[in-house]
């Protein structure tokens, strides 16, 4: 696991075993806040070790940026901490997380010690502010990767923990293309020092504009290509031909995962557009 100090009392962690997923810690004088847990127990335990033994402080709060396994399945390793999320996150973790953990356990013995712990405190609209030492953490909705996404702004440092609404490759299989575009645009206008992506490396101030542009360009290229393929007689053949480079992204992003995420984006968007069309025809009043 990589670890970096981003600012005073603000730390970043990145998995070396699963999809470069990230987590964060903001420490105060009496307790610390963890932003997301990592995918596998040993890495989440290493974060806890660091906080308890290097920062010498207990964890009082965990923020889940969304319900996906790689961000929430470490909740159980912080007994006594209060977990905070969007209300949908709690609902989706209960509905989908519990059965998917059961299935995953059969494949991976390392998950045997994992239990789903549902958030204790949720919010639905607006913002929620948590004060840690001298810093405000402002939680706000950031949807598009998933319907329950939140991002966390460390107000004084202008550091944004973006969750998966910002990634080296926007990923919308469980989300919505328009919503993720809106989230990314908003982040681009926030005057940030750093964007901490849910996966991948930290984006520095001087890199933010081009990262935002590249992600928005990917989204519009993807939309254009999928729409064009949808109009063909056999869309499947054309969908297979939409390659990641034509959408302005590299296939080696995210340790080589990008290419398969892109292919899943193509299929998911095709399906979502088809569903919307069906829904629109029937549902319009
Ligand atoms: Zn993720």
Q: What does the block give as tokens for 285?
A: 């009043």
What pLDDT score was predicted for residue 278?
A: 79
Q: What does the block give as tokens for 99?
A: 């059965």
What pLDDT score was predicted for residue 285?
A: 40
| Interval between CA 233 and ligand 1 midpoint (Å) | 35
Whether the Cβ atoms of residue 119 and residue 85 lie closer than 8 Å to each other: yes
pLDDT, one tens digit per residue, over 187-200 is 999 999 999 999 99
Q: Report the pLDDT averaged over residues 24-53.
A: 97
Q: Report the pLDDT averaged over residues 127-134.
A: 96
Neighbours of ion ligand 1 (CB under 5 A): 68, 70, 164, 198
| Interval between CA 232 and ligand 1 midpoint (Å) | 33
| Interval between CA 231 and ligand 1 midpoint (Å) | 32
- The answer to whether residue 86 scores a pLDDT higher than 50 is yes
Mean of pLDDT over the chain? 95
Q: What are the angstrom distances between the C-alpha of 22 and each of 119, 123, 275?
A: 19, 23, 33
What pLDDT score was predicted for residue 281?
A: 52
* pLDDT above 70 as % of the chain: 98
Exposed, middle or buried, 60 (CB in 10 Å: 0-12/13-18/19+)?
Answer: middle
Whether the Cβ atoms of residue 119 and residue 83 lie closer than 8 Å to each other: yes
pLDDT, one tens digit per residue, over 20-38 is 999 999 999 999 999 999 9
What pLDDT score was predicted for residue 280?
A: 59
| Interval between CA 68 and ligand 1 midpoint (Å) | 6
**Beta carbons within 8 Å of 30's beta carbon, 6+ residues apart:** 57, 60
| Interval between CA 204 and ligand 1 midpoint (Å) | 20
| Interval between CA 158 and ligand 1 midpoint (Å) | 22
Among 39-53, 74-88, 208-222, 250-264, whose mean pLDDT is lowest? Answer: 250-264
| Interval between CA 56 and ligand 1 midpoint (Å) | 28
Whether the Cβ atoms of residue 77 and residue 37 lie closer than 8 Å to each other: yes
């Amino acid at each position: 696991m990589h670890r970096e100090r981003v600012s005073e009392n603000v730390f970043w962690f990145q998995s070396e075993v699963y999809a470069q997923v990230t987590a964060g810690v903001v420490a105060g004088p009496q307790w610390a806040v963890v932003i997301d847990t990592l995918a596998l127990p040993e890495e989440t335990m290493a974060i806890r070790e660091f906080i308890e033994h290097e920062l010498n402080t207990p964890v009082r709060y965990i923020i889940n940026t969304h319900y996906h396994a790689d961000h929430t399945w470490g909740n159980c390793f912080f007994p006594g901490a209060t977990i905070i999320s969007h209300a949908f996150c709690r609902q989706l973790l209960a509905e989908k997380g519990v059965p998917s953990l059961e299935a995953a356990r059969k494949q991976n013995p390392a998950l045997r010690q994992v239990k789903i712990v549902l958030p204790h405190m949720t919010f639905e609209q607006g913002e929620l502010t948590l004060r840690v030492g001298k810093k405000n953490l402002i939680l706000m909705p950031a949807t598009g990767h998933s319907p329950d996404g939140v991002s966390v702004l460390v107000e004084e440092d202008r550091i944004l923990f973006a969750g998966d609404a910002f990634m080296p490759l926007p990923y919308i299989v469980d989300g919505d293309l328009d919503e993720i575009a809106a989230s990314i645009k908003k982040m681009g206008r926030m005057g940030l020092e750093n964007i901490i992506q849910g996966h991948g490396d930290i984006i520095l101030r001087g890199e933010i504009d081009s990262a935002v542009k590249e992600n928005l360009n990917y989204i519009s290229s993807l939309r254009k290509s999928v729409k064009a393929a949808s109009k063909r007689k056999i869309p499947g053949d054309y969908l297979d031909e939409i390659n990641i480079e034509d959408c302005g992204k590299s296939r080696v992003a995210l340790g080589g995962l990008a290419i398969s995420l892109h292919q899943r984006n193509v299929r998911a968007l095709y399906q979502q557009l088809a569903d919307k069309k069906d829904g629109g025809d029937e549902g319009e009043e």
